[in-house]
Structure 1
Amino acid sequence: MSLYLGFRRFGAGAAVVAAGLGVAFLVVLVSASRSADARLELGPAATPTVPTLTVEYRSDASMGEYFPGLVTARRESELGFERGGRIDDIAVDVGDRVVSGQVLARLDTRALEAQIAAADAQTAEAQAQVALAQSTEDRQQTLLERGHISQQRLDEVATSTHAAEARRRAAAASANALRAQLALSVIEAPFDGVITARLSDEGGIAAPGQGLLRIVEDDALEIRVGLPAESAATLTTGEVYNFETTTGEIAARFRASTGVVDTRTRSVTAVFDVEGPAQAGQVARLRLEQAIATEGFWVPTSALAEGRRGLWSVYVLEADEYGTYTIAPHAVETVRIDSGRAFVRGAVDDGAVILRSGLDRITPGQRVRIGDEA
């Protein structure tokens, strides 16, 4: 009887153990099934699709480089009086357009005109003395011919005539000098242009040579640009080039270059004649295509990842056995940078596929799928 009870107890325990093992096995199967389903569902979502581009090496690449220049007038003068005096009138103001020969300003010339009048009177008096001396000489000549006077007397009268003529010429020269001073009391426009500065007003005292007005020849503008000697050598005389300004483009024809390298700027000055509307003082940028003297490939700047010590890299997509790609950074050197793109070279094969953008959302070693390719 006791043996029978022992077997019953043993059988009951084994049944409990077997039941427990069965439940555990079912739990493992369900968990594995759910995990597999989860992997099947999350697999594509966990492998992001990225934009890419194919590397294409170039040995003949070039890029546009901008060289700034300044629009200036061919002629610009600061005008003043050659003699001093009180300013009587300034007939123009800033912004006024003037023509060559137009009177721009005058000095007070009343005192000078009085001196000219006095000099003219002295000249007239001297002329009268010359006439009297000449008449006297003529009469003395007649008397000499009749034997009434000596030759000595005639010579004395002739000398008086010459002295009177000399005094007349001196008086006339003095009057002419004063008239020249009168002409220097007027400022005339030396060429057609526009007044850009008025530095004094009526009533002021002008010193000789003091600048009072500034005039710019705005109908004949030019652009001067500092260029590397090799770039200046590519320009063609008479060819029209386009310049960029804040208000649009300016067309200008290449006239000449100095041909001399400035020791301070290491550049050659090229001069262009402006053919379209422009304003003196504008900054204009000349774009020239410059050859890149090395082999490399273009990438958008969004494809560059900055590393330590100022190094740059691109993310290369390397195929794996799962039909996806693994991100691998490759170091590159930036040769030139031009408005949103860079010309680089480095340990990247020609034809390699690299990440085009979105580097901040991708990490090296991550698996990705190829999306749109540029």
Structure 2
Amino acid sequence: MGASGLPLLFLGTLLTSALGGCSGDATTTEHTISTALVVQPDSTRAGHDSFAGEVRARYEPDLAFQVGGKVIERLVEVGDRVEKGQPLARIDPRDVRLQLDASRARVAAAKADHDLALSEQKRYQTLLERKVISQSQYDSVSSQLEAAAAQLRQAHADLEVARNQAGYAELHAPRNGVIMSRQVEVGQVVAAGQTVFTLAADGDREVLIHLPENRVNQVSLKQDVKVELWSRPGDHYDGRVREIAPSADPQLRTYAARVAFTSDDVPADLGQSARVFFPQGGTRMSIPLSALTAEEGAPYVWKVNPADQTLVKAPVRVGPYQEDEVPVLAGLEAGDWIVAAGAQLFREGQTVKPVDRRNRQVDFGDGGH
């Protein structure tokens, strides 16, 4: 049964029973049988859950300069299509060029030291052959030559790094795609690795959705779903959950999930709105919200024992609250009878007179009909 307003006749009967119990003596109160409106959990096919999302590119690299500096030119805007290798922005190259010049000077100095050490080594080798110097003197000069050679190799390596950094003053697109966002302006000083643009790479498209904390455990990787595009209402496309964030967003407190399309002919464009449907198998039970109460934070309902029409406290596990009902995930069976309202007026083991919404007494012998 679905949740609805309580009959006025039942409310009058319930209040009369409660007040009557208070006005009598102890013996009368002990044997008073209260009227209780009872219902059975409403069992329906579960259907599906749905979440709104946005069509995104599967690959969305953040683009950044590999060296720091002042941005002097921005060559693209948000929404521009770019090709692989296309320049996107430039930083002031003067500092890196000065570093390149300094590296070249260090190479020249290291080469001069190496040439001098090589000349000395050859001269000392001749003297050694003539027995004019000792072996130790020759070994000392040879060591100096090795040190000079190592310094020359290091200078060449530093020069290559400086050349690379000079090239890093210009940011290029790593692949074809569309500029999704821009984080810097001309004149801004950026650090190495600081995001300048976000690129939506050409290729696969997918839908980004955000799952609330109480639903993320109901979604699994590689789960099959249906996707409906806002631009094509009624058309459903096959999809599959590809990724679920391991932690919640600190501001939204939701978990980002990405749903990939399983076919290549989906007419999905970047930025389009979409809705992802998660089918839920089996059946789902719900009860009136007024039937639910709690003790020390633990929810429960009053279940009627059909054998003697006494009440039994039944702890339940519930899902997200709805406007006038709540889904029951565990603790009840479809054929149970529960008190639909006034839970605070009843106690464990109390005998009640069960009635339905039309104020007719429920006969458990024939199923309550």
Q: Normalised by the size of structure 2, how large is the TM-score?
A: 0.52
Bigger drift between 238-247 and 271-280 goes to 238-247
2:207 partner letter: E
Q: Which has the larger displacement, 185-194 or 59-68? A: 59-68
> Hey, what does 1:255 align to over in structure 2?
241
User: CA 1:242–1:82 in structure 2 vs 1: closer, same or farther (change >3 Å)?
Assistant: closer
Alignment match, 2:285:
293
**Kept in 1: contact 2:221–2:244 (CA 8 A):** no
1:145 equivalent to 2:135? Answer: no
2:259 alignment counterpart: 272
Question: Is contact 1:137-1:161 (8 Å) kept?
Answer: yes
Please tell me whether residue 198 in structure 1 is matched to residue 190 in structure 2: no
Query: How far 1:212 sits from its partner (Å)?
Result: 2.6
Residue 73 of structure 2 corresponds to residue 89 of structure 1: yes
Post-superposition offset of 1:123: 0.9
Alignment of 1:116 onto 2:100: yes
Q: Which has the larger radius of gyration?
A: 1
Q: Which residue of 1 aligns with 2:52?
A: 69
Tell me whether 1:80 sits opposite 2:72 in the alignment: no
**What is the aligned counterpart of 2:227 among 242, 246, 261?**
242
CA, structure 1 residues 209+118, in 2 after alignment: closer, same or farther (shift >3 Å)?
closer
How many equivalent pairs are there? 248
| 120, 123, 126: which one aligns with 1:136 | 120
Other-structure match for 1:27? none
Aligned 8 A contact 2:51 2:210 in 1:
yes
Unaligned regions of 5+ residues in structure 2, if any? Answer: 1-41, 288-323, 327-339, 341-355, 359-369
Q: Verify the 8 A CA contact 1:252 1:272 in the aligned structure 2.
A: no
Q: Is the 8 A contact 1:70 1:281 kept in 2?
A: no
For residues 14-72 of structure 1, the C-alpha deviation after alignment (integer angstroms, 9 at most, x for no partner) is xxxxxxxxxxxxxxxxxxxxxxxxxxxxxxxxxxxxxxxxxxxxx97536445123123
Instruction: Indicate the RMSD between aligned Cα atoms, in angstroms.
Output: 4.4
Q: CA deviation at 1:137?
A: 1.1
Instruction: Give the structure with the larger helix fraction.
Output: 1
String of CA shifts for 1:188-208, please: whole Å, max 9, x gaps.
334442102334444443344
Task: Spell out the pairing of 1:18-33 with structure 2 (5 A cutoff).
Answer: none
Amino acid at match of 1:253: G
Q: Quick one: which amino acid aligns to residue 89 of structure 1? A: E
Do the aligned residues in 1 keep the contact of 2:249 with 2:255 (CA within 8 Å)? no
| Kept after mapping to 2: 8 A contact 1:232/1:257 | no
Query: Residues of 2 paired with 1:190 and 1:289: CA distance?
Result: 39
Supply the AA of the counterpart residue of 1:133: A
- Rounded to whole Å, the distance in 1 between the matches of 2:113 and 2:253 is 72
Once the two structures are superposed, residues 146-184 of structure 1 have per-residue CA deviations (whole angstroms, 9 ceiling, x without a partner) of: 223333432342233233224323422432342343244
Corresponding residue SS for 1:187: strand
**TM-score, structure 1 length as denominator?**
0.51
Kindly indicate whether the alpha-carbon contact (under 8 Å) linking 1:218 and 1:279 is maintained by their aligned counterparts in 2. Answer: no
How many Å separate the matches in 1 of 2:153 and 2:216? 65
Deviation at 1:140, TM superposition (A): 1.8
Aligned-partner Cα distance in 1 for 2:221–2:191:
48
Q: Which position in structure 1 is the counterpart of 2:306? A: none
Q: Residue 269 and residue 104 in structure 1: after superposition, are their counterparts in 2 closer, same or farther (change >3 A)? A: closer
1:230 CA displacement: 11
